[in-house]
């Protein structure tokens, strides 16, 4: 962000770098012929699209991305938790982790995705088994799943 001061009010105006790029392309297009305007408009569209896309980064170690997954179904067992999630063709059990928190007499279980599915298949429910030891993690406490559930599932 860059702060500019307008002459009339002396109030700072914040301008993003992407907005400056778009403005520069628009000013350049005023002085060019029709063929160059076409190519600059294409560049302008690309800059506008990339300026609006979210930046997804994955860290390492403790800073690794942890995203609570929306579940279609969940069925905790003694040796595994069976979950049904939305996948795009590359979703695997290794892409998920289980986090357990003891609160009062309940064992709160969170299932998070630590690796995004970048495949381009049409989204579909996929059932996976995540290994875990219920007795070791929760003892005799009642298991409560924290994740949001998909409506209609």
Q: Are residues 97 and 126 in the same domain?
A: yes
Domain-ending residue, one of 15, 32, 52: 52
**Alpha-helix runs per DSSP H in the chain:** 17-29, 34-52, 134-138
Q: Are residues 71 and 132 in the same domain?
A: yes
Global pTM?
Answer: 0.56
Cα torsion for 118, 146, 96, 85, to the nearest 10°? -50
Q: Are residues 66 and 130 in the same domain?
A: yes
Write out the residue range of the structural domain in which residue 131 sits: 61-145
116 pLDDT band, cuts 50/70/90, is confident
User: In this predicted model, what pLDDT tens digit does every residue of 59-109 receive, in sequence order?
Assistant: 444 445 577 899 999 999 989 999 999 999 999 999 999 999 988 889 999
Q: Which two tokens stand for residue 91?
A: 């979703």
């Amino acid at each position: 962000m860059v702060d500019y001061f307008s002459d009339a009010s002396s109030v700072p105006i914040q301008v993003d770098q992407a907005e400056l790029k778009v403005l520069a392309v628009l000013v350049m297009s005023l002085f060019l012929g029709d063929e160059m305007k076409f190519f600059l408009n294409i560049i302008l569209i690309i800059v506008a699209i990339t300026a609006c896309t979210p930046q997804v980064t994955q860290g390492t170690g403790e800073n690794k991305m942890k995203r609570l997954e929306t579940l279609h179904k969940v069925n905790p067992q003694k040796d595994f938790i069976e979950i049904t999630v939305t996948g795009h063709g590359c979703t695997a059990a290794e892409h998920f982790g289980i986090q357990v928190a003891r609160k009062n007499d309940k064992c709160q279980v969170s299932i998070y995705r630590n690796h995004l599915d970048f495949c381009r298949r049409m989204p579909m429910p996929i059932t996976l088994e995540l290994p875990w030891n219920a007795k070791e993690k929760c003892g005799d406490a009642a298991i409560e799943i924290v994740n949001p559930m998909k409506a209609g599932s």
